């Protein structure tokens, strides 16, 4: 018996969730695992290989690890609207792809593709990054520092499903936020180049 599993805060969480229309994650998405090629397969050119440290809820960072295009050509690759979810290391990071990418992810990152029209990908990614889901991961870990979240546990995550028009409003705000973040990054890069040119 694990006392952490039965803490009152989890009871309150599931009471709150039950106030909404909810469903298990496995009923809303298809979940696919990627590969773990091993460091002996790492190269300096080829298809970019994305690990958990390259994944944030705001996007993917550049990697310096690549895999052979021919040897790994049949690996699953994320499509537009695929949600990448980390299950090992820093668990519970979710990012929705804004476009299809020719990249390969490690086995620590699951590929989630929405199959139920009751949820929008942007909304689902936001929920997966929320406190409600973080607490479910914490419960599965028995209060310890979780560094591995089982696929079977992830499939049973409870997802609140709110009205479609609310999801659409949230999705619009998230898209606007992404656009502004990209514009900010571009302006910052120009400013840095200007400073470098001025002092160079």
Residue 2: φ, ψ to 5°: -110, 110
pLDDT tens for each residue of 27-65:
999 999 998 898 999 999 999 999 999 999 999 999 999
Tokens representing residue 63 in the block: 């990697």
Asked whether the beta carbons of 49 and 67 are under 8 A apart, the reply is yes
Asked whether the beta carbons of 71 and 41 are under 8 A apart, the reply is yes
Asked whether the beta carbons of 151 and 31 are under 8 A apart, the reply is yes
Average confidence score pLDDT of the chain? 88
Q: What is the pLDDT of residue 98?
A: 92
Asked whether the beta carbons of 49 and 37 are under 8 A apart, the reply is yes
Split at pLDDT 50, 70, 90, the class of 5 is low
Give which of 110, 106, 101 is closest to 83, Cα–Cα: 110
Q: How long a stretch of residues is the chain?
A: 200
Q: What is the pLDDT of residue 8?
A: 79
Percent above pLDDT 70 for the chain: 94
């Amino acid at each position: 018996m694990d006392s952490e599993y039965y803490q009152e805060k989890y009871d309150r969480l599931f009471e709150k969730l039950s106030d909404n229309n909810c469903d298990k994650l496995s009923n809303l998405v298809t979940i696919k695992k990627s590969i773990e090629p091993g460091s002996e397969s790492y190269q300096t050119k080829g298809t970019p290989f994305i690990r958990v440290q390259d994944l944030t809820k705001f996007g993917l960072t550049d990697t310096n690890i690549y895999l052979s295009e021919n040897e790994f050509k049949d690996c699953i690759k994320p499509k537009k609207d695929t949600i990448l979810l980390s299950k090992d290391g820093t668990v519970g990071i979710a990012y929705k792809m804004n476009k299809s990418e020719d990249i390969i992810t490690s086995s620590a990152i699951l590929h989630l593709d929405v199959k139920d029209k009751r949820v929008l990908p942007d909304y689902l990614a936001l929920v997966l990054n929320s406190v409600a889901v973080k607490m479910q991961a914490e419960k599965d870990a028995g209060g310890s520092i979780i560094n591995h979240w089982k696929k079977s546990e992830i499939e049973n995550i409870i997802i609140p499903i709110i009205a479609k028009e609310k999801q659409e409003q949230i999705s619009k705000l998230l898209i606007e936020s992404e656009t502004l973040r990209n514009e900010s990054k571009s302006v910052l890069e120009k400013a840095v180049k200007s400073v470098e040119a001025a002092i160079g």
